[in-house]
Amino acid sequence: AQSVTQLGSHVSVSEGALVLLRCNYSSSVPPYLFWYVQYPNQGLQLLLKYTTGATLVKGINGFEAEFKKSETSFHLTKPSAHMSDAAEYFCAVSGGRDDKIIFGKGTRLHILP
């Protein structure tokens, strides 16, 4: 079985500052890991995913995440926050292709001017 924990339901950063959203997972099999973003009144949009191979994954809008098996983590980062990054971010895990995806409770990112 899989589960995911996102640390911090709300995170605030200043525009131009580093964005770090934390995610830890639990999985009984090699996991597939995802980050999604949700803007108001919209569905979830995939930011990036890790399935196999390189552990540093680059996504859209300048975001990246690193799979660290030893720490069971998949934290999301962006070097410089932009006002347009304000949204809710979801970390998710699955046991592989066609396995159900389990989502964390989400982290709302606030960008301070």
Partner 1 sequence: DAGVIQSPRHEVTEMGQEVTLRCKPISGHNSLFWYRQTMMRGLELLIYFNNNVPIDDSGMPEDRFSAKMPNASFSTLKIQPSEPRDSAVYFCAIQVTEAFFGQGTRLTVV
Site residues, partner 1 (CB under 8 A): 32, 34, 36, 41-46, 49, 51, 90, 92, 97-98, 100-106
- Say how far apart CA 80 and CA 40 lie, in whole Å: 22
- Cα dihedral 36/16/54/97 (nearest 10): 0
Nearer to partner 1, 74 or 81 (CB): 74
Nearer to partner 1, 74 or 90 (CB): 90
- Say how far apart CA 91 and CA 75 lie, in whole Å: 9
Q: CB of 15: closest distance to partner 1 in angstroms? A: 26
Q: CB of 16: closest distance to partner 1 in angstroms? A: 30
- Judge contact between 59 and 66, C-beta under 8 A: no
Nearer to partner 1, 28 or 42 (CB): 42
- Cα dihedral 19/100/94/57 (nearest 10): -50
Q: CB of 80: closest distance to partner 1 in angstroms? A: 26
Q: CB of 10: closest distance to partner 1 in angstroms? A: 13
